[in-house]
Every structure is written in structure tokens, then in C-alpha cells.
Amino acid sequence: MNIAMMRNKTLVAGSGIILLFALIALLAPLVSPYDPAAINQEDLLLGPSPRHLFGTDSLGRDLLSRMIYGARISLSVGLVAVGIATLTGILLGSVAGFYGGLLDALIMRFVDVMLCFPSFFLLLAVVSVFDPSIFNIMCIIGFTSWMGPARLVRAEILSLKEREFIQAARAMGATNTRIISRHLLPNAAGPLLVNATLGISGAILLESGLSFLGLGVQPPVASWGNILIESKSTLGVAWWITVFPGCAILLTILGFNMLAEGLRSKNG
Amino acid sequence: MAETEGVLTIRDLCLEFLSNARAKPVLQGVNLTLREKEVLVLAGESGSGKSITALSCTANLPRNAKVTAGSIIYRGQEVLKMREEELRGIRGAQIAYVFQEPAAYLNPLFTVGSQIAEAIIQHRSQPFGKALQIAEALLEQVRIPDPGRVLSSYPHQLSGGMNQRVFIAMSLALHPKVLIADEPTTSLDATAESQILKLFTDLMQEYHFSLLFITHNLSIAKRIADRVCIMFQGRVVEEGSWQEVSASPRHFHTRELMEAYEKIGRF
């Protein structure tokens, strides 16, 4: 009972954090106090103050405004990348799980091969080939992290397809596509949702990491990761440029992980 | 070939299960004819091949089952030679099933109404709203009180007897010619069982289907059967009307079944 209530609080707190961040990202033009790209020669490296709540960076840009616009990039990269990964995973995983046999063996061995590469290095290799536009980064993160969802979907389908109501659907003349889409996948949605929620925080972290290495979102577009990299050179004199984006990443990931944890317990 | 007059004729059906490269024979020459608008009760002990015979009728078999000989003729067509699309056209629309555990055979995620509607939509292209109306009418047909409320209920909210009625409604949605009921009352209590049996006989008057009723309970055979077939170890060993079979059972397994029921006083 107590644990259940605590889990419920986790769910509420997690979704609260994420809703807040998502709202800020959506309303960026309304809530950001300054133009995130406006350079101001007189206000270089100002500390947090009522005029610049989070201070300014080495070009005199308002950090809070840059972070608000950066939230748009970081969150959308997370969402779209996970969307791509989950859809690819669903497609390959359900085909493998449902049809079995040679097709299953081929797909799952391909998954194993993909999993052999440490994912970050795989990501670095791909990023170095493609031009690092935001869309490309979404796709690249998505197409290097679909293996988890694929395995999950396959496992769910393997156990679900032996259930009686699948037998019944077949006896009523349902096509395989219909059985997969109407009967199997909805029943696998719970664990998949938890996995995707966890995946979003992973993707945000990956994007930050890539941007930090200079291979992610390119300046002057702000993302939390590339604000962090710019802060590297001024870390000794301007702690706020490192701390605030770092906290934003931390809080978002915490939020998504709490949401996932809460959802997991709802799924029992 | 006098027997081809039946709606569904099974001839010398042999089937085996493959496990670890070894073949285990399950059906060893089953002969069965289901005639127009009759109730044929197929009885026998567990593992005698009743259910697998039923599933063979629409070639809806587990992956490790293999038909090695025989034929199944539905209205002059060979079922075992049909392509997948033809089979799908027959399943549900021509030959429908009712199973043992109604709650397990309904998808837990969807309301009863949307599942019946789904069954209609997948064979006849109907808008969802129209299909839902048909579903409500069907629920009324299977004597469900307050069909509007049941329509938007989930399977776990309904009792076993109710779920079985819902399943029967779904099976009848497309007016099948043959209804195969595989122990549909085994998981129900005596009252619900009695009501469901009554429902089957009533519905036969309205929907004009032939009923293949599978059970191990001979008292059901006594109550509803036009003809009885007894299966034993993958063969049909006894066939005839209830009077014939009960008065002079020829096979020892029939006698065993009869004695078992006499002992527990179920007749």
C-alpha cells in the first residue's frame, strides 16, 4: 500500500517535471526573456542576477533564453529519436516474434550484430559520415537504438501469441496483420511504453554527449549539450554556464526515469 | 458416396504432432459427417482428439500439427487444399467456433462491443457505428439483459456465463452455416450450463446452423444431441442417435463413459 502510494507519487512528480519542461519548450518565444541569439558586448559573462536570471555566456547571450530554446531541441531530439527507435523495433520485433523460423533468426542475429558495437562509438562513426543536422541526429540516434525495443516486442509477442484470444481471433478469420496490430501490439503496449520513456532520457543524454563532442547540434542553434561544451573554456570564471544546463539535463532525465518507474508499477 | 450430403464431411483424417523430430499420431482416420441443421455431439475422454478434429475443420492447426492423410469437405470444397485467403473467408463467416474458457478467448483490452464489431468489420466492410448496432442486437439475441451496458463492458467485468453469451453472439455475427462448440459449458456452473445449452437450441431455430458440440459430458449428449459420436484414441469408435448409443454401446470406451456418468448420477 505504502509502496504503491510512493510509486504513484513518482509517477506524478515525473510527469510534472516533464510537463513543465515541455510547456516551457512549447512556449519558448513567450517565456524567454531575451532573444537567445542576441549578442551583447557589454554583458559578457555576467553572473545570475535579476536582469539575467541564469547569467550570460562569453558572447553576452542570456543563458536562460538559450536554455529555453535549447529545451526545444533536446526534448524533440529525444522524442523523435525514440519514436524512430520504437517504430523500427515494433516492426522488426513483431515480424520476428510472430512469424518465427528463418525470418526470426535473421532479424535477431542482425540485432545481435548491432548490439555488438558499443552504441556510442557506433553513433560517432555514423555521425562522422552524415552532416550533423538536427534531423539527421534524430534519425541516427533512432536507428542505432531500436534493438532494445525490437527484443522487447519480440519477447512479448512470443508469449502473447500463444494466448487463447489470439486463437479465437484466428478462428474468426482475422488476417495476420490484423492479429498483430489489433490483438498483439495493444497487449504489448505497457512494457513498450516504459521502455520508450526510459529511452527518451537515454536519447537526450546521447544528444548532449554528441553535442558536447562537437558532433551533435551545431551552434548557433542551442541545445543543452552544446551550451555545456561552450562553457568548458570559461568554467573557471563562469560556473553558471555549466551548472544550469547540467541541472536541466539531470532534471529531465530524472523526470523521464520517474515517469517510467511510475508507469512500470502501474503495469504491475 | 451417400455421406457427402452433409455440410461438413471429414474422411479418414490422419494427423500427427511433431515433437523433437518424432511424429506422434493424434488422429488415426477420423470419419465424421455433420448434416444440415443437426446437433452432432462429439464426446470422448481428454486427449482423444476431439479438439484437434474441430480445429482441422478450418485448417486452423498448431504449427507442429501435420495432416498426413484424409480430407475435409465443406459444402463440396476441400478445406485442406484451400489457400490462406479462402480459409480466412470461411473462418468465422461460414464455420465459427465457441471455446471453453470464454474470458480467456476474449481480448482483455477491448470492450465486448468493439470485439463483436471487429468480427463483423473484418468480413464485411461496415462503418464501426453500424457494426456496433449489429453487436447490440446480437447481444439481445443471446438473451443478455441490458445489452447497451454490456456492450461497453470489458470481459473481466462479466461473469463466465455472460462472457460465453458474448462469445456466442460474436460467433453468430456473420450467420455461419456451422458452429463448432468446443466444451463451451465445461468452465461454467450448472445453472449457466443449462442456460447456455437452451440458448444453443433456441438459436438454432433462428440462425439455422449445424452444431458440432464437443464435450466429455454424456448428459449433454442426452439432452441436446440428434446424433452422438464417441472418439477414442484418435478414431470415431461409435456413432448413432443417443438412444442407439446408450441402449447398446458397441465399443468398450462408450460403456466406460456411460458407467462413469451413471456412477456419479449425472443422468
pLDDT at B258: 83
Place of cell 545481435: A112
Q: Which three cell numbers stand for residue A45?
A: 559573462
Place of cell 457427402: B4
Q: What does the pLDDT look like over A233-265, one tens digit per residue?
A: 888 888 898 999 999 999 999 999 898 888 877
* Contact assessment for residue B246 and residue B220, using Cβ atoms and an 8 Å cutoff: no
| Structural element, H or E, at residue B43 | strand B39-44
| Structural element, H or E, at residue B222 | helix B218-224
Give CATH for domain B37-60+94-263. Answer: 3.40.50.300
CA pair distance A146, A152, nearest whole angstrom: 10
* A27 phi, psi to nearest 5 deg: -95, 25
Could you tell me how many CB contacts below 8 A there are between chain A and chain B?
Answer: 60
Considering only alpha carbons, which residue of chain A is nearest residue B55? A171
Q: What does the pLDDT look like over A152-168, one tens digit per residue?
A: 999 999 999 999 999 99
Domain over A2-38+51-266 is classified CATH 1.10.357.10: no
Per-residue pLDDT at A187 exceeds 70: yes
Provide the sign of the torsion angle of the four alpha carbons A9, A15, A19, A21, taken in this order: positive
pLDDT at B3: 46
Per-residue pLDDT of chain B (267 residues; tens, 9 = 90+): 444 468 999 999 999 998 887 888 999 999 999 999 899 999 988 888 899 999 999 998 888 898 999 999 999 889 999 999 999 999 999 999 999 888 899 999 999 999 999 999 988 888 999 999 999 999 999 999 999 999 999 999 999 999 999 999 999 999 999 999 999 998 888 889 999 999 999 999 999 999 999 998 888 888 899 999 999 999 999 899 988 888 888 888 888 888 887 777 655
* Contact assessment for residue B178 and residue B42, using Cβ atoms and an 8 Å cutoff: no
* Contact assessment for residue B122 and residue B156, using Cβ atoms and an 8 Å cutoff: no
Percentage with pLDDT > 70 across chain A: 96
Contacts of B144 (CB under 8 A, 6+ apart): B150, B162, B165, B166, B169
Half-sphere exposure of A14 (CA within 13 A, CB side): 22
Nearest to B33 by CA among B86, B61, B75, B80: B75
- For every residue of A184-211, DSSP letters joined together read IHHHHHHHHHHHHHHHHHHHHHHHHHHH
Rg of the Cα atoms in chain A: 22
Residue A39, CA distances (Å) to A169, A225, B142 in order: 63, 20, 75
* Contact call for B92 and A167, based on CB within 8 A: no
| Structural element, H or E, at residue B170 | helix B160-172
Q: Which three cell numbers stand for residue A232?
A: 568548458
Q: What does the pLDDT look like over A72-91, one tens digit per residue?
A: 988 999 999 999 999 999 99
Q: Which three cell numbers stand for residue A195?
A: 521502455
Per-residue pLDDT at A267 exceeds 80: no
Per-residue pLDDT at A29 exceeds 70: yes
> What residues of chain B lie within 8 A of the CB of A171, using their CB?
58, 60, 91-92, 96-97, 99
Contacts of A210 (CB under 8 A, 6+ apart): A123, A124, A127, A132, A137, A216, A217, A225
Half-sphere exposure of B255 (CA within 13 A, CB side): 5
**β-strand pairing of B178-182 with B22-34:** unpaired
Tell me the ipTM for this assembly. Answer: 0.85
pLDDT at A159: 93
CA pair distance A111, A127, nearest whole angstrom: 20
* Contact assessment for residue B251 and residue B230, using Cβ atoms and an 8 Å cutoff: yes
> What residues of chain A lie within 8 A of the CB of B123, using their CB?
173
CA pair distance A107, A112, nearest whole angstrom: 9
> What residues of chain B lie within 8 A of the CB of A178, using their CB?
122
Mutate to test the interface with B, among A161, A165, A176, A182 (most CBs of B within 10 A): A165
CA pair distance A124, B121, nearest whole angstrom: 49
Q: What is the dihedral of CA B191, B196, B197, B198, to 10 degrees?
A: 90
Q: For chain B, first and last CA: distance in Å?
A: 37
Q: A112 CA to chain B: closest CA distance, Å?
A: 26
Annotate B176-187 with b (16+ C-beta within 10 A) or e (fewer): bbbbbbbbbbeb
Q: A168 CA to chain B: closest CA distance, Å?
A: 6
Give the strands of the sheet with B8-19, arranged side by side: B22-34, B8-19, B65-74, B77-78
Taking a contact as any Cβ pair under 8 Å apart, which residues of chain B between 111 and 170 contact chain A? 118-119, 122-123, 167, 170
Q: Can you give the pTM of this predicted structure?
A: 0.82
pLDDT at A225: 85
> What residues of chain B lie within 8 A of the CB of A168, using their CB?
97, 99, 105-106, 167
Q: Is B108 on the interface with A (CB under 8 A)?
A: yes
Rg of the Cα atoms in chain B: 19
* Contact call for B92 and A171, based on CB within 8 A: yes
Identity of residue B243: Q
What number of residues does chain A have? 268
* Bridge partners for B44 per DSSP: B231
Q: What does the pLDDT look like over A88-123, one tens digit per residue?
A: 999 999 999 999 999 999 999 999 999 988 878 888
Considering only alpha carbons, which residue of chain B is nearest residue A165? B105
Q: Is B58 on the interface with A (CB under 8 A)?
A: yes
